[in-house]
Amino acid sequence: MLRVQEHYEYLHTIPEAGLQEYKTAAYVADQLEQAGFSVQRGVNGSTGVVGVYDSGLPGPVLGIRADMDALTHHIQGKTVQRHTCGHDGHCAMLLAAAEASLQKRLVHKGKLKIIFQPAEELGIGAKLMVEGGVVDDVNILLGMHVRPIQECRKGEVIQAMLYSASAKITAVIHGMQAHGARPHLGINAIDGAVAAVSAVNAIHMDPSVSFSAKCTRFLADSGVTNAIPGEAAIVFDIRAQYNEIMKELRGKMIQAIQAGAATVGATADIDISEGCPAAELDPDITKRLGCIITDTLGEKACKPPMTTPGGEDFFWYVIKRPRIKAGFTGLGVDAQPGLHHPDMHFDVPSLENGVRIHMASIVEFLQ
């Protein structure tokens, strides 16, 4: 009997923000221990949990990762945590698959590592786990995310999710304050910021590869309206389909912001957040996941790889430990109206398909 529904129902009632997943972590750790895994809690000082089952026989180390955090929403004047990205479903599926794989003795060789990661939404959980040494011995790493109804339907599974790279660029534009009557004696930071935004909007790259760069915050206020403001702060959200394209875009962003500000004699201090890298998936693992989906749920269930402008911090595992071969599937659960929407809901029984994919993956790589 798969306990996915039971796990989901409990985890759904205890949504916790990134790095504060205390109850969630305690629950998954206790359940893993009861199932027969040796469990490490509080990985690298965080709420991360790892369960290991060693067959004692030579073979690959297979890691399967789920994220534990909920999102913080502001609803009707209240700040609340809610599982609007489906991470409670991810934990429930992985936990149910982990238990069943030991009960049914599915691990015949190598080692199975069950990884519960904190703070995916903050973009820092995967890096904390890597720095904690969690994937140092992992050969194959798998991830899975529930998908919105627009991307795939319940009963379907996307063979590979090709997430995009994303980052945030903060720029402080420095001009020179002056009296509103004597603008020629100052440098208007707003003019510099506007020029920087225009220069960014004029960035062109290979149009056959998707990317985007847009200003998402623009702050300037000297406190009075009859003076020339000396400082402005602007933020850009940038995305690119591949890590190489992201590198090129970052370079062009710095050039555009600095050159834009310089057109009025202003200067720019630029800070780029690390963000999330784009998907780096192993073609062989992706192919084998396709076969697993077809064998488990039928040929019609297997959907081809899908590109998404969304970000996922999972790929830090691969960027930081490039010898890992990774696979990442998208599970159809009819999630609507959309992920991160405060009213996001989905077809809970569909989670059983995810459990079956996890179990079939354990069979594929550890038998």
Binding-site residues from annotation for Mn(2+): 85, 87, 121, 145, 340
Min dist CB 255 to Zn ion, Å, is 31
> Rounded to an integer, what is the distance from CA 216 to the centroid of its chain?
20
Min dist CB 86 to Zn ion, Å, is 6
Residue closer to Zn ion, measured from CB, 140 or 144: 144
Mark the binding-site residues, compressed into ranges: 85, 87, 121, 145, 340
Residue closer to Zn ion, measured from CB, 29 or 276: 276
Residue 314 in 3-state DSSP?
helix
Q: Which two tokens stand for residue 178?
A: 């002056």
Q: Which residue has the CB atom at the shortest distance from Zn ion?
A: 85
CA distances from 104 to 70, 92, 359, 361 (A): 31, 18, 10, 14
Please give, one letter per residue, the 3-state secondary structure of 48-81.
EEEEEEECCCCCCEEEEEEECCCEEEEECCEEEE
Q: Which two tokens stand for residue 125?
A: 């959980």
C-alpha span between 166 and 274 (Å, rounded): 8
Min dist CB 120 to Zn ion, Å, is 6
Residue closer to Zn ion, measured from CB, 91 or 97: 91
Min dist CB 225 to Zn ion, Å, is 40
Min dist CB 99 to Zn ion, Å, is 23
Residue closer to Zn ion, measured from CB, 88 or 191: 88
Q: Which residues bind Zn ion (CB under 5 A)?
A: 85
Residue closer to Zn ion, measured from CB, 85 or 215: 85
Which residue type does 72 have?
Answer: T
Beta-bridge partner residues of 211: 240
